[in-house]
Chain A
């Protein structure tokens, strides 16, 4: 034990003497507490979402399934298994409705909201290649600007955290994420949905569960 400590101290001294540059990158591990105080709850109900946008994706069913599986892996709260509820914009703002849901599921924390995946196409200027032969018959390629059709898919989400006992909204977050591709490419809508939800899921997990973040920092001398 002493020998190990001594070796460590000698190693520190060596590093200290060797360190002549002024910047020393280190990784800092930080425990970030859950954004929301979930201690009054033992269970979480991902109730359902007002969907919309592209018909190819049932954003209510897919979001319920995805968030439940990710939240189960986080092991912060017990995730209630139940069918995805058909939610309307009117029910989102109806505390009596959520109190009834709370009674049915023994006053859990309820996650609901609006998740819409939309699409729009626009024309942008991009670079393309043009092949030609010069006066001496040599093959040449030149870059030229050309109009490109771009499809942008946007995931807009408003997530509401509702207290199952009172039916009151206790926390809300809004997200807007988008991804673009050439319209000539065939990208399934579900693929875009998962790409965009992957950016949103860590925020949801961080809202209800503690987590650690490892980040780079620079020590200076």
Chain B
């Protein structure tokens, strides 16, 4: 049953990616990563988002998602780098900016960002 399920997933991924340009392939990875994250499988999600940025380094949403996944796993510096890359690629994205502001607010203390 497990093998069958994995087979279905593989077919879906390959079918999506085979016709695709790098962005479409990266989007397929991101879509899978989002589904994994929604089920709490953050390590799998991180892997998928890392694959996505490796495939298409200009995909801002993939960096945003990688940042969120890293944040969830306590990889704070890696999350910060990913948020900054996402914002550099999409400086007008309010949603990325909002995520980053929430991230900075949460982690201000550990980096000494709160007024003393």
- A residues neighboring B (CB under 8 Å): 2-3, 5-6, 8-13, 15-17, 19, 22-24, 26, 28-33, 35, 171-174, 206, 213, 215-221
Main secondary structure of the interface of B (DSSP, over half): helix
Report A-chain residues with C-beta under 8 Å of the C-beta of B98.
Answer: 218
Answer yes or no: B14 CB below 8 A from chain A CBs.
no
B residues neighboring A (CB under 8 Å): 1-2, 4-6, 8-9, 12, 27, 30-39, 41, 61, 64-65, 68, 71-72, 74, 93, 95-96, 98-99, 102-103, 106-107, 109-110, 114-116
CA distance A160 to B6 in the complex (A): 57
Name which residue of chain A comes closest to B67, CB basis. Answer: A217
Which of chain B's residues has its CB closest to A30's CB?
B106
| A218 closest partner in B (C-beta) | B95
**Cα separation A23 to B61 with both chains bound (whole Å):** 10
Instruction: Indicate if the CB atoms of B35 and A15 lie closer than 8 Å.
Output: yes
Tally of A-B Cβ pairs under 8 angstroms: 105
Known: A9-B6, A215-B102. Is A30-B107 also a contact (CB below 8 A)?
yes
- B61:A5 contact, CB within 8 angstroms: no
Residues of B within 8 A of A220 (CB): 61, 64-65, 93, 95-96
Instruction: Please tell me if the beta carbons of B116 and A172 are within 8 angstroms of each other in the complex.
Output: yes
Could you say which residues of chain A place their CB within 8 Å of the CB of B114?
35, 173
Closest residue of B by beta carbon distance from A17:
B12
Contact assessment for B35 and A13 in the assembled complex, using a CB-CB cutoff below 8 Å: yes
Q: What are the residues of chain B within 8 A of A171 when measuring CB–CB?
A: 116
Contact A219 B37 (CB under 8 A): yes
Residue from A3, A16, A22, A28 in contact with B35 in the complex, judged by beta carbons closer than 8 Å: A16
Task: Pick 11 A–B contacts, CB within 8 A, sort by A.
Answer: A3-B1, A12-B35, A29-B72, A30-B107, A35-B110, A35-B114, A173-B114, A217-B103, A218-B68, A219-B37, A221-B61
Q: Is the Cβ of A221 less than 8 Å from the Cβ of B12?
A: no
Asked if residues B34 and A217 are in contact (CB atoms below 8 Å), the reply is no
CA distance A217 to B8 in the complex (A): 30
